[in-house]
């Protein structure tokens, strides 16, 4: 028997999509894209709670958005030392709507839906889908448990594109602060991508 014959098969891919902990703007409902805002004390506590939920899992890769709220969450969850910055995990660029709440945007633009209409001087749904698709392709080449620390809108969009559905459908998904979902494959149909678990609060 050769060394190759004795080598164990690679562990199946499972992607843990983790939203950062609470910030002042996630609490107030303000759209937070490029603004590099830190976690609140409660958000720090949420991130620490994630450590217990993720403890015991061996991660082959840990990727994080460049924004400090995501990097801080990864560190407080015990995975900062492994983390690599991945620019494509950044939150939606809200352009002119940065810092505004949806009710304020709709006061001047009735019926606005970011998932359909995008943001002036920011990103469109097509641009977000393309960014998520790049990540899906890159993640699909990995094996084992992979942790990605991202944001509310983009994390949901990544899950949608993982299973090949349109960005607008994520209005039906929730992803709370310091909650996570698990993306993977159907064991009986290993070419079929699935959302195995979703919006799990840290224990």
In CATH, what number is assigned to the domain containing residue 197?
Answer: 3.40.50.1240
79: left (phi over 0), alpha (psi -120 to 50) or beta: alpha
- pTM value? 0.93
Question: Which of the residues 20, 61, 151, 153 is marked catalytic?
Answer: 20
Structural domain of 17: 3-201
Domains in the chain, number? 1
Q: Which of 41, 42, 47, 36 is nearest to 72 (CA)?
A: 47
Q: Which of 132, 154, 147 is nearest to 33 (CA)?
A: 154
Helices 125-140 and 152-162 pack at an angle, to 10 degrees, of: 60
- The model's pLDDT over 174-194, given as tens digits with 9 standing for 90+, comes to 999 999 999 999 998 989 999
Residue 9, pLDDT score: 64
Tokens of 189: 């149909």
Helix (H) or strand (E) holding 108, with range, is helix 102-108
123 is catalytic: no
Q: What are the phi and psi torsion angles at 12 (to 5°)?
A: -65, 150
pLDDT confidence band for 100 (50 / 70 / 90): very high
20 is catalytic: yes
Distance of CA 118 to the CA centre of its chain: 18
Question: Which of the residues 46, 86, 91, 123 is marked catalytic?
Answer: 91
């Amino acid at each position: 028997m050769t060394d190759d014959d004795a080598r164990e098969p690679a562990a199946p891919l499972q992607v843990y999509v983790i939203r950062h902990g609470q910030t002042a703007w996630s609490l107030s409902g303000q759209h937070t894209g490029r603004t590099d805002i830190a976690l609140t004390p409660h958000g720090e506590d949420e991130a620490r709670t994630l450590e217990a939920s993720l403890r015991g899992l061996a991660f082959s890769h840990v990727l994080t958005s460049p924004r400090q709220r995501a990097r801080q969450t990864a560190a407080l969850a015990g995975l900062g030392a492994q983390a690599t910055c991945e620019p494509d995990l950044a939150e939606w660029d809200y352009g002119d709507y940065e810092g505004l709440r949806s009710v304020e945007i709709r006061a001047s633009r009735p019926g606005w839906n970011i998932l359909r209409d995008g943001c002036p001087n920011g990103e469109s749904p097509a641009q977000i889908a393309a960014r998520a698709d790049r990540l899906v392709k890159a993640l699909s080449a990995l094996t084992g448990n992979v942790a990605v620390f991202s944001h509310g809108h983009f994390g949901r969009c990544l899950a949608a594109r993982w299973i090949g559905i349109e960005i607008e459908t994520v209005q039906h998904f929730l992803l709370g602060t310091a909650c996570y979902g698990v993306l993977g494959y159907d064991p009986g149909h290993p070419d079929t991508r699935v959302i195995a678990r979703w919006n799990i609060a840290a224990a």
